[in-house]
Amino acid sequence: MSDAVEALPSGESSPRPRGRLKIFLGYAAGVGKTYQMLDEAQELKRKGVDVVIGYFEPHGRQDTIAKTQGLEVIPRKTIDYRGSTFEEMDVEAILRRKPAVCLVDEFAHSNVPGCGRPKRWEDVQTLLDNGIDVFTTLNVQHLESLNDEVRHITGVRVRETVPDWVVDAADEVVLVDLTAEALQNRLQRGVVYTPDKAKRAMENFFTEANLTALREMALRHTAHEVEGRLSDLPIPARGRAPIARPGPEAPARHERILICLTGRPSTAVLIRRGKRVADYLHAECLAVHVQRGSLEEHNEALEKHLSFARNLHIDTYVLRGADVARTIAEFAREQNITQIFMGRAGSGRWFSVVKSTVHRVVRLAREREITVVAERLR
């Protein structure tokens, strides 16, 4: 971080290089993300770095609040929405203040409507674009790609998510680790929540099984982030083998994944799954929808899925064809797709249509791998 700070130009008008983003990743409230972020900020301040708090959520935690001592806080802005007043981070005030480093708690937060940008991570992009380094906090369950797994494990559908590419683009992702047992002790001691809220939390989301599973996901995801950054690093002079196991392995071919979209509700699961596999395989990811009727026909559910895919940085295509399976198979051939992702046949209204499409694509595109994605229900 200090490099960027030292490179800070003195002139008002000269543009700064893009700010650096550091994410403190945890697996639940109370593991100590904000505390560690503040601790590092205090250290920077001692070294003379101009660091401010852009947004801080105290949650009544005394240890954490004590860590803000001496740090400048940019006041939040208030927004009136449907008769209530909400407080959000004041991005414009931070831009005017131009600190070297800005702390922004709760990266996955959704802003109240009328605030400007819908998501806090978008606010953070603005700060970074203006040359401000940002420290932020995030729990692993807010990653878009893990949304279905988290729901399966915990029974909770997390609504506030951050697209994976935003986290992948961070300069640093640091894991803040704590054992599930220690976190439960903290809850019991009332460090994290008020006693009644803590009790409810431990009976529902904060069970030992949930916490352990989420923690494992956080460790694995941090490993994935570390590995992703390895490709940007220079290869050592002495040829060192990659971390993968030794032994026979076919040369990695260039993978291209195609996700077949429909208007079905489970399409969101399909998109997340296809994108996650593509990311791990370092594959390109495309999505296609084949419409049998006219292209102008408006389908709200489908539009939503297409825009969701685009938000995850997936190239989307809408094609027209009387024979859906054949159109998909031909498109896959044209695009040199190696693997086609499809949703499975459900029951009810979609059953017959989807079932026949899946089965016909399997037959028509026999030279490609086809993945029929599970319904990730609990």
Partner 1 sequence: MPTSADRRPSPEELLRRVQAEERRARRGRLKVFLGYASRVGKSFRMLDEGRRRKERGEDVIVASIQMPLTPDLEALMGHLEYIPPLRESYSGKEFEVLNVAAIFRRHPRVCLVDELAYDNPPGSRNPKRWQDVDNILDQGISVITAVNLQHIEEQQDAVERITGKRARQTVPERFLRSADEIVLVDAALDDMMQRAGSREPVDVRRLSELRELALLLAADVIDAQLVNYLRSNGVELRWGTQERILVCVTPRSDACAMLRSGRRNADRFHGTLLVCYVRQTDLNTKDEATVAANLALAAELEAEVHVLEGRDPIAAIMRLAREQRVTQIFVGHSRPNRWQEMWWGSPVDRLIQDARDIDVRIFPHPEMP
Asked if residue 158 binds partner 1 (CB under 8 A), the reply is no
Query: Which 229-258 positions form the footprint of partner 1 (CB under 8 A)?
Result: 229-230, 233-236, 238, 240-241, 243-250, 252
The Cα 191–Cα 31 span in angstroms is 11
Q: Give whichever of 182 and 301 is closer to partner 1, judged by the CB atom.
A: 182
Q: Give whichever of 50 and 216 is closer to partner 1, judged by the CB atom.
A: 216
Stretch that binds partner 1, among 54-62, 122-130, 279-287, 288-296 (CB under 8 A): 279-287
Contact 17, 131 (CB under 8 A): yes
Query: Which 324-343 positions form the footprint of partner 1 (CB under 8 A)?
Result: 339
The Cα 272–Cα 184 span in angstroms is 31
Q: Give whichever of 91 and 287 is closer to partner 1, judged by the CB atom.
A: 287
One symbol per residue from 63 to 102: x for binding partner 1 (CB under 8 A), - otherwise; what is it?
----------------------------------------
Classify 254 as helix, strand or coil.
coil
Q: Give whichever of 88 and 148 is closer to partner 1, judged by the CB atom.
A: 148
Residue type, 268: A
The Cα 287–Cα 315 span in angstroms is 6
> The tokens 């791990």 sit on which residue?
280
Q: Give whichever of 115 and 373 is closer to partner 1, judged by the CB atom.
A: 373
Q: Give whichever of 36 and 327 is closer to partner 1, judged by the CB atom.
A: 36
Taking the C-alpha atoms of 324, 327, 329 and 332 in order, what is their torsion angle to the nearest 10 degrees? -130
Count of H-run helices and E-run strands, the chain: 14, 13
The Cα 112–Cα 133 span in angstroms is 24
Query: Which 195-234 positions form the footprint of partner 1 (CB under 8 A)?
Result: 208-209, 212-213, 215-217, 219-220, 222-224, 226-227, 229-230, 233-234
Contact 295, 318 (CB under 8 A): yes
Neighbour-count burial of 233, counting CB atoms closer than 10 A to its CB (0-12 exposed, 13-18 middle, 19+ buried): exposed
Question: Using CB under 8 A, which of 122, 160, 171, 323 touches partner 1?
Answer: 171
